[in-house]
């Protein structure tokens, strides 16, 4: 993979080709106005990440929303009032997220991220809002792959994989987060069965 890896100097990685077997369905929408986001850029980000993760099949819905909308979802599905950065919903039919079969990783899910939060946090950490948003989306994707960040050990593993994946697809590694070790994310993949 190293030979085919391309560095992307802009905000988004260059798209990789879909895998030869299976396929990816990536639906994208931008429902906020704070951070300009093109659907093609989101698709390129996910194509690069899915290639690096060796995902055989993916059916993903990506939405970029404002703080008001993500706060409503955050309260409804996780019972936590206020906005967050990203929430992912695992819609896979397998018993485990990131269902593995002999032919590769298969994912189905929704990832909803806040463009407003990305702009605010990017200023705090002194990097581009597009990179902050990409970080949220990678975080949500890793939840769909089965990563967890509720306990310290798995959280460290997830953070390490986030950094590795972002660098592998040509984006800068996210800045180290501060705040006394408190994980500000509450983006655990929520299974679809919790929907009413």
Q: Using the predicted structure, report yes or no on whether residue 16 has a pLDDT greater than 60.
A: no
Instruction: In whole angstroms, give the CA distance from residue 108 to residue 27.
Output: 12
What is the arithmetic mean of pLDDT over 127-135?
96
Domains observed in the chain: 19-175+182-191 (3.40.390.30)
- In sequence order, the 6+-apart residues with CB closer than 8 A to the CB of 139 are 85, 86, 158, 162, 185, 187
Mean pLDDT of the chain: 82
- In sequence order, the 6+-apart residues with CB closer than 8 A to the CB of 161 are 142, 147
Q: What radius of gyration do the chain's Cα atoms show?
A: 16
Sign, Cα dihedral of 95, 134, 160, 74 = negative
What is the arithmetic mean of pLDDT over 78-87?
95
Looking at residue 3, the DSSP 8-state letter turns out to be: G
14 burial (CB, 10 Å; 0-12 / 13-18 / 19+) is middle
| φ and ψ at residue 26, rounded to 5 degrees | -130, 105
The answer to whether the CB of 13 falls within 8 A of the CB of 131 is no
What is the arithmetic mean of pLDDT over 79-83?
95
Q: In terms of pTM, does the model score above 0.85?
A: no
């Amino acid at each position: 993979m190293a030979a085919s890896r391309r560095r992307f100097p802009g905000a988004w990685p260059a798209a990789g080709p879909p895998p030869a077997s299976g396929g990816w369905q990536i639906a994208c929408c931008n429902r906020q106005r704070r951070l300009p986001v093109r659907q093609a850029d989101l698709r390129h980000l996910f194509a690069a990440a899915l290639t690096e993760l060796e995902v055989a099949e993916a059916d993903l819905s990506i939405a970029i929303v404002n703080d008001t909308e993500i706060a409503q979802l955050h309260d409804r599905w996780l019972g936590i009032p206020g906005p967050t950065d990203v929430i992912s919903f695992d819609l896979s039919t397998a018993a485990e997220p990131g269902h593995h079969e002999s032919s590769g990783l298969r994912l189905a899910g929704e990832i909803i991220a806040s463009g407003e939060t990305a702009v605010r946090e990017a200023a705090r950490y002194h990097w581009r809002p597009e990179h902050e948003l990409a970080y949220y989306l990678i975080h949500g994707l890793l939840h769909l792959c089965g990563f967890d960040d509720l306990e310290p050990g798995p959280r460290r593993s997830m953070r390490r994989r986030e950094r590795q994946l972002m660098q592998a697809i040509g984006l800068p590694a996210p800045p180290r987060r501060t705040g006394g070790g408190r994980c500000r994310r509450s983006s655990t993949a929520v299974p679809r069965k919790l929907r009413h």
